[in-house]
Amino acid sequence: MTRQKTLAGLSVLLQDGKLDPVTLAEETLAGIEAHGDQTIFVGLTRERALKEAAAASARLRAGRSLGLLDGLPVAWKDLFDVKGSVTTAGSAVLRDAPPAGSDAAVVAAVAGAGMVSVGRTNMSEFAFSGLGINPHYGTPHNPASTDVERIPGGSSSGSAAAVAAGLVPAAIGTDTGGSVRIPAAMTGIVGYKATRGRYAMKGVFPLAESLDSLGPLCHTVQDAVWLDAAMHGLTAPVVRRGEIAGISLVIPETIVFDEAESEVVEAFEDAVKRLEKAGATVTRRAFPTFKAVFDLMARHGALVTAEAYALHRERLSGPDAERIDPRVVARTRLGEKITMPDYIALLDARDQLIHETVESLKPGELIVHPTLPHVAPPLAPLLQDDELFFKTNARTLRNTLIGNFLDFCGISIPCGTGAGEMPVGLQLAAPHHHDDRLLSIALAAETVIRGEA
């Protein structure tokens, strides 16, 4: 079984003819089926995978490679339509829905780059939790945990676990409040949330369309750059590797360190020192707009909750409500209290806060802070205590949801370990549509952030 390989590493083997795409697909499928955690995937697309792998094999033998990703395996969060399989969105109520008649636009784009779709990964039901717990399909184990069973993070739980466990080199997730970056940070991999709208959303089951974005989960920033290109239809990446010397980073002194675990702060600060030593300029200052986001939510309700309730209100008023996780039902029903004036006020204030935050940044400046204030917590207490579940969920989503609300792009990179030797993530973030610059700097800074330089 080929394990823990990056896309870039596997690509070399495929392009050189040292590994055949069919062999790789068969090994990948066999590894998933033999793995001790059968909750990571909710379904395999075996027939499609072998057909796509055979086509890639024929292309490579004929010298007609589609590019760097040709023949490489990829998995999809169970929100993406994959032709011939059912998109359940992690819910039992959609289990018997008809199979998708066509691929989601981004699935088709990645297939166009020659990638081999091997299956659908587990997730928080309807993507409405940052913890990754799912009572219907089970909760994936966190592969980084060596003591007690810990949560993988959500909502792209299976996508992160599949990559962290070495089952696939990459998986694609969605991010409405942190659902790519949270599980990436908790499992010790890279998670990139693109600017909302960077990729086509057709065929992706929504949560809150004002906030929904997509992104890859993988082992390296380099792999994320390759996937980003494929996801929006480019035949090759256009991102240039930047330089650390002279980059400007700002650490927010507002919200993101509140109640943070000391080991998380220590790992983050050590990474910052390494970046400074490598030539980065780091400053610290308050971000009043970060606090304003939470003040708005307290006054008018959460934007995600309003839009999720509008999407699911008919399900919640009918018999399907009994088949949905009660915690998801309770959180979604909070949207019933959000009035139309509240919703409009949220949208208007959001536009203003986005403008104010962007204006507060100096040219080229990136924001850097711990992706999460804590490492992945143990699973058992969260299953037993609803109050702890909701408190932990809010704390888990806190740092990352700021970026969704302010329409930023962001990437989480492992920067060390915290309590229980669990991974800690460092997030770099940039204003909307500055994705190429963000990825450029992340490429340059990754080894320093990881402490490998």
Let me know if 179 is a catalytic residue: yes
In this structure, the number of other CB atoms found within 10 A of the CB of residue 241 comes to 13
Cα(312)–Cα(174) distance, rounded to whole angstroms?
Answer: 18
Nearest partner of 409 among 198, 239, 179, judged by Cα: 198
Let me know if 337 is a catalytic residue: no
Contacts of 29 (CB under 8 A, 6+ apart): 44, 46, 49, 118
E-strand spans in 65-189?
73-77, 116-121, 170-175
Contacts of 348 (CB under 8 A, 6+ apart): none
Catalytic: which of 57, 117, 124, 179? 179
For 380, the token pair is: 């058992």
Cα(313)–Cα(329) distance, rounded to whole angstroms?
Answer: 10
Phi-psi region of 126 (alpha: psi -120 to 50; beta: other; left: phi over 0): left
Catalytic: which of 77, 117, 213, 440? 77
Q: What is the DSSP string of 338-358?
A: --HHHHHHHHHHHHHHHHHHH
Nearest partner of 7 among 194, 243, 189, 233, judged by Cα: 189
Contact 374, 394 (CB under 8 A): no
Question: What distance separates the 2 farthest-apart alpha carbons in the chain?
Answer: 62
Catalytic: which of 155, 156, 210, 213? 155
C-alpha distances in angstroms, 448 versus 137, 241, 369?
Answer: 38, 14, 15
Beta bridge partners of 411: 192, 428
26 DSSP assignment: H
Q: Kindly report the CA angle at 315 between 311 and 317, in degrees rounded to 5? A: 115
Let me know if 51 is a catalytic residue: no
Name the residues annotated as catalytic: 77, 155, 179
